[in-house]
Structure 1
Amino acid sequence: MSSVLLNVRDLPLRLDTPGVDEARRTQAALTDQLSDYVLPRLVQLDAPLLVVVGGSTGAGKSTLVNSLVGEQVTESGVLRPTTRSPVLVHHPDDAEWFRPDRILPDLPRTFAVGNDSYALRLASSTKIPPGLAILDAPDVDSIDQGNRDLAAQLLAAADLWLFVTSAARYADQVPWDYLRQAAERSTSVAVVLDRTSDEAVSEVRGHLARMMTSRGLSDSPLFTVSESGLDAEGLLPPDTVAPIVGWLHDLAADPKARQMVVRRTLDGAVRHVVMRAHDVADALDAQIEVAESFYREAETVQRKALDEISTRTSDGTLLRGEVLASWQEFVGTGELLKSVEEKVSRIRDRFVDGMTGKRTRAAEVLEAIETGIHMLLVEHAESAAEQISRAWTSTRPGRHLLDSQRGFDRASQDFRVRAERMVHDWRQSVLDLVRVEGADKRMTARFLAFGVNGIGVALMVTMLARTSDGPGAAAPGRKLLDAIFGEAAVDDMIERAHADLDSRVAALFEAELTRFNALLDSPETLKTVQAGLRESARRAEYARHADFLDTETTS
């Protein structure tokens, strides 16, 4: 069962899909049921029988609890809501069972009388038998939401529900909603018809009994407490509550009967948890469908951006503007091509003499290429972010997901810096490629004339126009590279340089995609969690049946 708790509690339901609110409420209720009742009770089956007294506002629960115990242990009030701080009454010998890490482990403990709704007040009394504990819960129909939530939590932690109603309130809808849930879970229930005049007892009791039968509670005991005055201590006359007191004391004194009540409620709780766990798992289908759609849309946009960048860094698009001007300044008007075709001695004389100026212009071309690629990356990152954001927010789950986020319609704030660093690193890798491939050619006239930077520029420009038609502006660079390295080697260098750029761009954009995907759980994660919840629920159901059969055989 602990695996069911972990799977249910950690179940991701982030997306605002149809029915998700109900699934979240079910998830919270199952988590409370498991942590407040099922798991604590499973590890301590011998703990005292916990009777939670709940019911409608003004039904007289606190007075009834005091009268059942035989002394004032809980306070009622004139103003509504009355009972605020829940009170758990137990025999002094049973105090150890109610340590904070056992029954209702999430509720803090207190021994002081007060109105702290989030603390469980412990009160011991020798008038209550060992093996029995009575908890006075807030009203299930309280005007205070905190009281109603606490009442629901306490009732879900009960071995036995003692539901208190009155002639004036017995047909109210809210209490019957709780009783219906009790019937669905096979929870042990007893109903007390309180504050009923002798004249109305027969009619009201008969009607109430028929309502119980029609709602699956025909086996539940029904007690009647006649309307009567209170004694000096604020207690009902002993004879009016004697049938209830006797029944509870008999349960406390009979271990077998007590265990029967506990096991019935526990078995029903486990069965209910298993059933509703499958419901919550089913709710993940919609989450998975939307997550797959969001992932697919984001990946499609991202892939399109990467393809366009790859195309535009090879079709000559970037050989315009500043890049083209710097390149033309570097090669001159046909001077580079003529120089390549001249004899080695003339090349050495011409370019070694003007080496400094030529290499300075090479650096200018490198910077222009870096700037052009950087602008291309920023342009596509901004466009991709806007497209993904628009696609997601066209749906209700997407709007809900991005409403609380800022800046997702733009590239991330540090993208420009990361893109600039990436392009610079790629440039250095191209120059390193030139150094490695030209290791045995560095003393040639052509290599000496242009150096690593100049040849690197020629390689980059040639790469940027690798798929363009015709010789174009990159032709002189290709001529130079072929003359130094040979045509086959140049083709390989161009391919490697472009593949390296594509790889670095993909890694850069992957971080942008991750930024979106981090907002939701991946479809694979959701499917794994869903399968895990269903499997743990199946194991819990098998264990429940095995335990039931063992109990039947033993009894």
Structure 2
Amino acid sequence: MTSPSESSPPGAPASNSRAAAAVELLEAVRGDLFAAELPLALPGADTARLDIRNALSQLDDYILPRFRSLDAPLLAVVGGSTGAGKSTLVNALVGHPVTRAGAIRPTTRQPILLHNPADASWFEDQRVLPSLSRVRGVVVDTPVPANRAGAAPDAASTSSLVLVGHPAVPEGIALLDAPDVDSVSDDNRKLAGQLLAAADLWVFVTTANRYADAVPWKLLLDAAARDIMVAVVLDRVPPAAEAEVSTDLRAMLQQEGLGAARLFIVQEVALDRLGMLPPQAVEPLGRWLRELAEDAAGRAEIARRTLNGAVRTLSGRVAALARASQEQQQAAEVLARDARTAYQDAAVRILEATRDGALLRGEVLARWQDFVGTGEFFRVLEQNIWRMRDRVGAFFRGEPAPAVKVETAIETGLQAVIMDEAANAAEDADQRWRSDPAGRQLLGTDDLSGTSTGFPDRVAAEIRAWQAGLMELIRTEGQGKRTQARWLSFGVNGLGAALMIVVFSMTAGLTGLEVGVAGGTAIVGQRLLEAVFGEDAVRRLARTAREDLHSRCDKLLLEEQQRFLERLEFSAGVSPDVLAGHARALQRLAETA
């Protein structure tokens, strides 16, 4: 591959430096385009991905090779619609059947690049169109009819480029016979677009019957946007209709910003026995190509003009990609926020359930009453609450089994609350994601609307760990209280159960008769603990136990939430800001080149 310093004109160090800087920028752009990913199924993402592929192809096929070799021969791509007569035209320009022409479509599957033998070194390596392998073609001494000339169609034809050296092609310019732009073959159409994107100039062939077709005009408008030089060949024009058709076509070209395009008319004439046009039919076009080839300064100007247009187009594509990448980032943030919100809401609901007395119902309340006494006990206790210190020892002389039953009931009730809210969060997050195209794509056929496998066991383990930690708090707090040593030795479980009751009733959000029962329950637990540890210590113990419980619940929910968030753990390859910076740099390059 030719280096920038080798390909730049001698005696122009500033130009060398600019070319080297341009190549460095373009290679950085190429690397980031290659790394760019748009994984989310957003509107316009498919178009953006196609733009990335097209931009990479044009960088490899044309922009980088041309910046590295500004003085290389011009590449004139002959393109057009099916049956327009492209191959017949190229054969006429060379004066020899070298490309396949005929009635069976498509005729041109394998692109043929004709060049002057002196220019062979420019095209034999992978300087331009590096994705196409090279096949050396040979012009035989005995002419072959045009319907049998050129390379035979085969399965690999669209992945190779046939190089044919011929002295009839002027030095400094090469002709590339491209497949039909509206071919019935997808591969042919893609290859035609790739070749046209690699051209310094287009020789666009159409006919008197098809010059207004939509597909060719879409490509011509693309040429106008890129400011590429275009020559339009109006082929097979009946002499009687030449004035009318050519006038109409000129008006269309003018209207679409292609008024500067050269228009050549090839009248409808009979072909000879080899399927060749008479030489005079293409003489104006051939003369124009020879004049371009002989004018070194003119060739350089064409190359720079086309190159700048290609860079401007690339700048627009990169800017659009930056916006698409930003949209991907924002969409991922929305999905992540939806998942986090669902689980944060669940955490709030669990928090409320653990502090409003809701857990002091049913089984928990029954087991606590079994532990401390009957309902009659609460009535007596309310009347004699200040005599609690004298009676508290009596609550702990029995077997520890009732306290353990309280712990078990609390574990069961708390586990049910956490399980229900985690399931609600999963369903909420799943619904939010499935209402979004990107979320549906990430979820696919997986159902994340319930809790994960093993979640009940993890919840139970965390609750037991919390209860064990709470018991350790009780032991630690009681170490310095010698007078309560006998109570602690007999009643750690009981004190722990009392502390759990206090933790779950700090706001006493109960109504009706429950206030009298569950509220009294909480008072018993609180007075019991205050009798042992003191009022300040009880508040501190309850606060520490509550914070530990909430921390463990948050941990469980974050683990469940991760099932959604891990699907967003993809790399965009490069940030939108970097791409936007590339777009601005490319625009400056196009303006100053």
- Verify same fold: TM over 0.5: yes
Q: CA deviation at 1:253?
A: 4.8
Task: Answer whether contact 2:478 2:485 (CA < 8 A) is retained.
Answer: no
Task: Answer whether contact 2:135 2:163 (CA < 8 A) is retained.
Answer: no
1:357-396 aligned at under 5 Å gives the runs 357-358=399-400, 360-394=401-435
Task: Answer whether contact 1:162 1:192 (CA < 8 A) is retained.
Answer: yes
Partner of 2:581: 535
* SS of 2:260 mapped into structure 1: coil
Partner of 2:498: 458
| Partner deviation per Cα, 1:317-348 (whole Å, 9 max, x = no partner) | 1223333344444445469x99984589x779
Asked whether 1:49 is paired with 2:89, we answer no
Q: In the aligned structure 2, how far is the partner of 1:481 from the partner of 1:108?
A: 86
Q: In the aligned structure 2, how far is the partner of 1:253 from the partner of 1:181?
A: 28
* SS of 1:444 mapped into structure 2: helix
1:313-462 aligned at under 5 Å gives the runs 313-333=354-374, 341=389, 351=397, 357-358=399-400, 360-394=401-435, 397=437, 401=441, 404-413=444-453, 415-441=455-481, 444-451=485-492, 453-462=493-502
**Worse-superposed segment, 179-188 or 271-280:** 271-280
Task: Answer whether contact 1:55 1:164 (CA < 8 A) is retained.
Answer: yes
Q: CA deviation at 1:57?
A: 0.6
Asked whether 1:260 is paired with 2:260, we answer no
Q: Structure 1 134/371 Cα, relative in aligned 2: closer, same or farther at 3 Å?
A: farther
Task: Answer whether contact 1:109 1:119 (CA < 8 A) is retained.
Answer: no
Task: Answer whether contact 2:40 2:438 (CA < 8 A) is retained.
Answer: no
Letter aligned with residue 63 of structure 2: V
Q: CA deviation at 1:296?
A: 5.2
Partner of 1:61: 86
Identity %: 42
Q: CA deviation at 1:246?
A: 4.1
- 2:111 is aligned, of 66, 82, 86, to 86
Q: Structure 1 227/399 Cα, relative in aligned 2: closer, same or farther at 3 Å?
A: same
| Partner deviation per Cα, 1:296-316 (whole Å, 9 max, x = no partner) | 554443332211111101222
Q: CA deviation at 1:191?
A: 1.5
- 2:537 is aligned, of 474, 489, 504, to 489
Partner of 1:310: 351
Number of residue pairs the alignment of both structures matches: 533
Per the normalisation by structure 1, the TM-score is 0.81
1:12-31 aligned at under 5 Å gives the runs 12=38, 14-17=40-43, 26=51, 29-31=54-56
1:208-247 aligned at under 5 Å gives the runs 208-230=249-271, 234-247=275-288
Q: CA deviation at 1:413?
A: 4.4
Partner of 2:590: 544
Per the normalisation by structure 2, the TM-score is 0.76
Q: Structure 1 123/34 Cα, relative in aligned 2: closer, same or farther at 3 Å?
A: closer
Letter aligned with residue 586 of structure 2: A
Letter aligned with residue 120 of structure 1: S
Letter aligned with residue 497 of structure 2: V
* SS of 2:520 mapped into structure 1: coil
Q: Structure 1 96/490 Cα, relative in aligned 2: closer, same or farther at 3 Å?
A: farther
Q: Structure 1 131/477 Cα, relative in aligned 2: closer, same or farther at 3 Å?
A: farther
| Partner deviation per Cα, 1:36-74 (whole Å, 9 max, x = no partner) | 433443344344422222101101222333443455544
Q: CA deviation at 1:284?
A: 6.8
1:513-532 aligned at under 5 Å gives the runs 513-517=561-565, 529-532=575-578
Letter aligned with residue 587 of structure 2: E
Task: Answer whether contact 1:434 1:455 (CA < 8 A) is retained.
Answer: yes
Asked whether 1:189 is paired with 2:214, we answer no
Q: In the aligned structure 2, how far is the partner of 1:542 from the partner of 1:491?
A: 68
What stretches of structure 2 of length at least 5 have no aligned partner?
A: 1-25, 137-150, 510-514
**Worse-superposed segment, 101-110 or 132-141:** 101-110
Letter aligned with residue 190 of structure 2: D
**Worse-superposed segment, 186-195 or 364-373:** 364-373
CA RMSD of aligned residues (A): 4.0
Q: Structure 1 487/279 Cα, relative in aligned 2: closer, same or farther at 3 Å?
A: same
Q: In the aligned structure 1, how far is the partner of 2:340 from the partner of 2:41?
A: 19
Letter aligned with residue 477 of structure 1: G
Q: Structure 1 511/79 Cα, relative in aligned 2: closer, same or farther at 3 Å?
A: farther
**Worse-superposed segment, 38-47 or 180-189:** 38-47
Task: Answer whether contact 1:108 1:118 (CA < 8 A) is retained.
Answer: no
Letter aligned with residue 533 of structure 1: L
| Partner deviation per Cα, 1:212-248 (whole Å, 9 max, x = no partner) | 2222222222223344455565544444334434443
Task: Answer whether contact 1:87 1:120 (CA < 8 A) is retained.
Answer: no
Q: In the aligned structure 2, how far is the partner of 1:216 from the partner of 1:512?
A: 59
Letter aligned with residue 14 of structure 1: L
Q: Structure 1 218/423 Cα, relative in aligned 2: closer, same or farther at 3 Å?
A: same
Task: Answer whether contact 1:166 1:194 (CA < 8 A) is retained.
Answer: yes
Q: Structure 1 505/151 Cα, relative in aligned 2: closer, same or farther at 3 Å?
A: farther
Task: Answer whether contact 2:74 2:299 (CA < 8 A) is retained.
Answer: yes
Q: Structure 1 463/235 Cα, relative in aligned 2: closer, same or farther at 3 Å?
A: same
Q: CA deviation at 1:178?
A: 1.0
Q: Structure 1 461/81 Cα, relative in aligned 2: closer, same or farther at 3 Å?
A: farther
Task: Answer whether contact 2:38 2:45 (CA < 8 A) is retained.
Answer: no
Task: Answer whether contact 1:386 1:408 (CA < 8 A) is retained.
Answer: yes
What stretches of structure 1 of length at least 5 have no aligned partner?
A: 548-555
* SS of 1:472 mapped into structure 2: helix
Q: In the aligned structure 2, how far is the partner of 1:310 from the partner of 1:42?
A: 65
- 2:313 is aligned, of 262, 272, 278, to 272
**Worse-superposed segment, 203-212 or 313-322:** 203-212
* SS of 2:76 mapped into structure 1: strand
Q: In the aligned structure 1, how far is the partner of 2:416 from the partner of 2:158?
A: 58
| Partner deviation per Cα, 1:113-170 (whole Å, 9 max, x = no partner) | 5243641333242444555443322211223334333322322222212211122222
